Amino acid sequence: MRTTTLGMRQSLRGLHGVILGFPAALFTIGVLTDIAYLKTAEVQWTNFSQWLITGALVFGGIAAAWSLVALVLSLRTSIRRWRVVEFGALALMFLLGLINAFKHSQDAWSSVGALGLILSILCSLLALVAAFIAISGASDGEIAR
């Protein structure tokens, strides 16, 4: 039996993936709670959405910063294209998520409305794309190998 040790590189990749899991999951559940609010006008659903978006932004912000550092470190390598896509998705996700957090801070129906739902959907799509790229290994050069 061969024992393997987890190298620094894999640990970092794993941690990045875990962090990225948060915005991917939280924004996506936020879409569901937004829909639940629009269907029922029950305040608890928009309250859920607001906390989900807040949590997604905290971890999404860390992930975006991480992704930017990774991009800068790989500017001269062949994997930079995937890292540009990953960082672009996360940066846009964070910006739209911030707007969405303010949108969701409005009172009652205005906390979601059509704009809130659209922003939630866009944020969750961007988070899923970024998480997919990172976890698939594309932005770590696994595809090229």
Partner 1 sequence: MIRSTLSVAFAAIVLAACGRSDPKLNETGAQPDLPAVRQTLVPPMRVTSPTGWDGQVPTVPAGFTVTAMATDLQIPRQMLVLPNGDILIAEGRGGHAPALRPKDIIAGPIKKKGNTQVESGNRLTLLRDADNDGRAEVRTVFADNLDAPYGLAYVDGFIYVANQGALVRIPWTAGQTRATAAPQEVTKLPSRINHHWTKSLTVSADGQTLYVGIGSNSNIGERGLAVEEERAVVWAIDRATGARRTMATGIRNPTALAIEPTTGAVWAVANERDELGPQLVPDYLTSVREGAFYGWPYSYWGKKIDPRVRPQRPDLVATAVAPDFALGAHVAALGLTFATQGGFGGAFTEGAFIGEHGSWNRQDPSGYKVAWVPFVGGRPSGPPVDFATGFLTKEGARGRPVGVAFDPTRRILLVADDLSNTIWRIAPARVTP
Binding site for partner 1 (CB under 8 A): 41-44, 47, 50-51, 54, 91, 95, 99, 101-103, 105-111
Nearest distance from residue 17's CB to partner 1, in Å?
24
Q: Give percent helix, percent strand, percent coil of the chain, each to the nearest 5.
A: 85, 0, 15
Cα dist from 124 to 15, 21, 29, 121, whole Å: 20, 11, 9, 5
Tokens of 53: 């978006």
Q: Which is nearer to partner 1, 18 or 73 (CB)?
A: 73
Nearest distance from residue 129's CB to partner 1, in Å?
18
Nearest distance from residue 50's CB to partner 1, in Å?
5
Q: Are 86 and 130 in contact (CB under 8 A)?
A: yes
Nearest distance from residue 8's CB to partner 1, in Å?
28
Distance CA 59, CA 43 (A): 25
Burial of 4 (0-12, 13-18, 19+ CB in 10 A): exposed
Q: Which is nearer to partner 1, 28 or 111 (CB)?
A: 111
Q: Which is nearer to partner 1, 101 or 134 (CB)?
A: 101
Q: Which is nearer to partner 1, 91 or 125 (CB)?
A: 91
